[in-house]
Amino acid sequence: MALPVPPTGALGFRILRNGVPVGEQHLTFSQSGDQLRVDNHAELVVRELGIPVFHYAAMATEQWAGGVFRGVDSQVDHNGTQLRVHAAPIAGGFAIESTKTGNYDYTGQPGLMPLTYWNKAMLDAMILNVETGRHYPAIVSSPGWNYLPTADGGRLLAQRFDVSGKLHLSLWYDQNEQWAGLAFNILGQITYQKFTA
């Protein structure tokens, strides 16, 4: 099955907290033959009375081959705490190195995929948190389709998926299986609005 790589080779989102813009997330997709590299960068700053009270910056690079996930390296600055995750393939799974979780192997089923949202197939996988290095299955329900506001002032029809269990968030994907939105609660209601222009 082909990966849902956007035709432009890029995805971008405005990040809002309680309706106020606080940052952006951008992904770039580089293909060479059956090899795919995905570079993912997010940064946000929460301010109270104009004073920064929380800063988050994350960079992750994924490697795919033949449509199959082959590893990820991530670096996260979580309000001053530096976190890293490295996942590399081994027989039957992945070896994980993580600042927070330590080192371990995952060789179970379902297969492992990173929590980077752009690939809807993640919802059927064992999800690797690229900040903490922990992994967990997604428990998913879909309330249906609805329109989302975009960062450009338009709206986008997308299907909503509510994820529970260890994760608590909502994701949206459009009719072409492209990532269209995200919402969760951390220090307030965080929502993602897609750049479409």
In terms of DSSP bridges, do strands 35-48 and 112-114 run parallel, antiparallel, or are they unpaired?
A: unpaired
Q: What is the mean pLDDT of the chain?
A: 95
Note the pLDDT tens digit of each residue in 28-65.
999 999 999 999 999 999 988 888 889 999 999 999 99
Return the closest-CA partner of residue 88 out of 100, 109, 73.
73
CA distances from 132 to 81, 92, 96, 97 (A): 11, 22, 11, 10
Contact 11, 172 (CB under 8 A): no
Helix (H, G, I), strand (E, B) or coil at 21: strand
Cβ atoms of 51 and 68 closer than 8 Å: no
pTM of the model: 0.94
Cα distance between residue 147 and residue 108, in whole Å: 37
Positive or negative, the CA dihedral 147, 145, 172, 18 is positive
Using 50, 70 and 90 to split pLDDT, how confident is the model at 195?
very high
pLDDT digits (tens, 9 = 90+) for 64-97: 999 999 999 999 999 999 999 999 999 999 999 9
